[in-house]
């Protein structure tokens, strides 16, 4: 097991997050990292999750992320476990929808959330976790049943417990304490509230066109943000300096779905939010390696059939899009006009410390964490900036408000170290790692591969902040209970190369050339 499970790619984070102690159970069974910490201790972002918020301030539901704890599920059990993990996500989504639609009942009964939402959710999760245990044991794996069961308990978070920004500061992977965001948007500039209550004592919604964010504290004027971009590792003589650019378009043909074949294979709407797809043109929950290899690509280089996909960005100005009444769309709090990037640059770069090894066919990588609002920021890898500011400011916990004439820039830099064996792992993280941010060296037996980088540029009219509210906000799609925080941004990739392209990319980078 590599050290990557808690390793950040860049020095953007301003506090160290201690890695959980890992317990390995024999027999090819289950390996987890400190299960009990998630259920009974403060989370990585510093929010105490053992104390339920008062009904009047409950913003969201926080559940241990079971999938990230399962680091070595036997191969024979992975499909079954993945479907059960998708069931856990669906249960949280349904519980959050009930939370958002019962604000008046919550105001009248201090025990309503616990008795009607959190308690029943625990019962459902207990049954699902038991099925996961059975799936693993059925194929000879071993499970600490008590540790797994401990992950059934969910808690609630108030708005100021989430990792929202602190109201204008520059938050780079660090929780600055935030502010109480209840009472966010009250219908200004198209920011309609969700499930409004006639009872003035009922909890206010938490912003956004669908009532689940973003809020004013999620934005910062980039001209007022402190510079934070640090230097890259020094290029060493043995390093690889070439680049390979692949041009795959901006998803102008609107190839979308709410599946995620990496995390939830065989499960429709497994992501609970909408993705843009470029490259491979048939990536859904039922895609297989064989079908991906046979599918057409949007890339100019027809040998690149890789799948590149990311959550869409929406402008929340009151506009409704095609999925307003669909699962993963408006029914799950993802609302507003879907924006197509002005440009999407996909580039593979080298290692400052060594030559790179060609990517293996069908390698899967997820960078970032779609659940940082409840998980904390250990795996966050969001980068938001504006044209003209990219070499000065990169934001993780806030969206930038760009000056006139400047566009929003969203970038990803994927893990660039591979364990040399596996094309995926049970939690989709431990088979790849980030290089050391100071030296660029891969550790623990990992080897350098071409680093996938992506730069998406959006033309967005700047949101405005007035009286603690935001008008015409924009945000990424996400799980509804994650409140559309910028730190939940993430990106997905499946390597599908034909005609020896993987080797051509590595050779180009190793020879110091600029290729496409």
Q: What is the pLDDT of residue 72?
A: 84
CB of 317 within 8 A of CB of 192?
no
User: At a CB cut-off of 8 Å and minimum separation 6, what does 444 contact?
Assistant: 2, 3, 433
Residues paired with residue 257 on neighbouring β-strands, in sequence order: 275
The burial of 226, by beta-carbon neighbours within 10 Å (0-12 exposed, 13-18 middle, 19 or more buried), is given as exposed
Q: What are the residue ranges of helices labelled H in 337-477?
A: 372-375
Please tell me whether the peptide bond between 214 and the residue prior to it is cis, using omega within 30 degrees of 0.
Answer: yes
Contact 493, 172 (CB under 8 A): no
Sequence-ordered alpha helix ranges (H) in 348-413: 372-375
Q: Which two tokens stand for residue 116?
A: 């009607």
Token pair recorded at residue 204: 């206010």
Rounded Cα distance between 349 and 34, Å, is: 35
Neighbour tally for 470: CB within 10 Å: 28
Q: Which residues pair with 385 in a beta bridge?
A: 409
What integer pLDDT is reported at residue 38 of this predicted model? Answer: 30
Give residue 492's pLDDT: 98
Residue with tokens 């623990």: 444
How far is residue 221's CA from residue 89's CA, in Å, rounded to a whole number? 34
Between CA 274 and CA 371, with CA 272 as vertex, the angle to 5 degrees is 100
Say how many C-beta atoms besides its own lie within 10 A of residue 146's C-beta.
Answer: 9
Give the pLDDT confidence score for residue 392 in this predicted structure. 98
* pLDDT at site 163: 53
Query: Residue 333 gets which letter from DSSP?
Result: T
Q: Which residues contact 351 (CB under 8 A, 6 or more apart)?
A: 239, 240, 416, 435, 440, 442, 448, 451
Tokens representing 3? 């050290």
Residue 191 is predicted with a pLDDT of 34
Tokens 């020095």 locate to 11
* Distance of alpha carbon 502 from the chain centroid: 26
Q: 40: which strand partners?
A: none
First to last CA, the chain: 34
Segment (H or E) for 68:
helix 66-69
10-residue stretch averages of pLDDT, the chain, 516 residues long: 41 34 32 34 33 62 95 94 98 97 93 97 98 97 94 91 45 31 30 33 68 95 97 95 98 98 98 98 98 98 98 96 97 97 98 98 98 95 97 98 97 98 97 97 96 98 93 97 97 98 98 97
């Amino acid at each position: 097991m590599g050290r990557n499970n808690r390793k950040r790619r860049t020095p953007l984070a301003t506090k160290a997050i201690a890695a959980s102690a890992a317990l390995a159970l024999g027999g090819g069974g289950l390996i987890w990292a400190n299960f009990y910490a998630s259920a009974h201790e403060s989370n990585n972002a510093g929010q105490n999750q053992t104390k339920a918020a008062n009904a009047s301030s409950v913003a969201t539901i926080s559940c241990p992320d079971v999938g990230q704890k399962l680091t070595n599920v036997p191969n024979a059990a992975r499909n079954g476990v993945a479907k059960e993990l998708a069931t856990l996500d669906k249960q949280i989504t349904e519980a959050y929808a009930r939370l958002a639609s019962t604000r008046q009942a919550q105001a009248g009964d201090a025990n309503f959330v616990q008795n009607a939402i959190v308690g029943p959710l625990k019962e459902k999760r207990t049954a699902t976790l038991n099925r996961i245990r059975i799936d693993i044991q059925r194929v000879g794996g071993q499970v600490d049943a008590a540790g797994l069961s401990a992950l059934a308990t969910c808690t609630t978070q108030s708005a100021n417990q989430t990792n929202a920004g602190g109201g204008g500061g520059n938050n780079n992977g660090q929780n600055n304490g935030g502010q109480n965001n209840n009472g966010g948007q009250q219908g200004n500039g198209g920011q309609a509230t969700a499930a409004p209550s006639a009872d003035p004592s009922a909890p206010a919604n938490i912003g956004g066109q669908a009532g689940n964010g973003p809020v004013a504290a999620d934005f910062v004027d980039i001209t007022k943000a402190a510079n934070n971009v640090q230097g890259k590792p020094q290029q060493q003589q043995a390093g690889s300096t070439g680049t390979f650019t692949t041009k795959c378009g901006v998803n102008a043909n609107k190839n979308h779905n709410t599946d995620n074949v990496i995390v939830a294979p065989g499960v429709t709407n497994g992501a609970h939010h909408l993705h843009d797809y470029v490259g491979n043109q048939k990536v859904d929950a039922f895609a297989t390696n064989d079908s991906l290899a046979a599918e057409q690509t949007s890339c100019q280089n027809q040998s690149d059939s890789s799948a590149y996909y990311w959550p869409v960005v929406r402008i929340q100005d009151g506009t409704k899009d095609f999925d307003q009444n669909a699962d993963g769309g408006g029914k799950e709090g993802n609302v507003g006009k879907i924006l197509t990037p002005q440009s999407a640059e996909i580039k593979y770069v080298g290692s400052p410390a060594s030559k790179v090894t060609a990517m293996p066919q069908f390698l899967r990588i997820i960078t970032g964490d779609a659940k940082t609002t409840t998980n904390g920021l250990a795996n966050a890898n969001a980068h938001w900036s504006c044209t003209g500011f990219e070499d000065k400011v990169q934001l993780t916990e806030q969206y930038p408000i760009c000056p006139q004439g400047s566009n929003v820039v969203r970038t990803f830099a994927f893990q660039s170290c591979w364990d040399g064996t596996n094309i995926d792992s049970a939690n989709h993280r431990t088979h790849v790692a980030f290089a050391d941010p100071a030296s660029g060296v891969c550790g623990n037996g990992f080897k350098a591969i071409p680093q996938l980088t992506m730069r998406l540029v959006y033309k967005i009219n700047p949101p405005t902040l007035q009286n603690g509210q935001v008008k015409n906000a924009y945000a990424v799609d996400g799980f509804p209970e994650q409140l559309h925080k910028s730190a939940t941004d993430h990106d997905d990739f499946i390597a599908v190369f034909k005609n020896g392209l993987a080797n051509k990319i590595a050779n180009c980078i190793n020879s110091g050339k600029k290729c496409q």
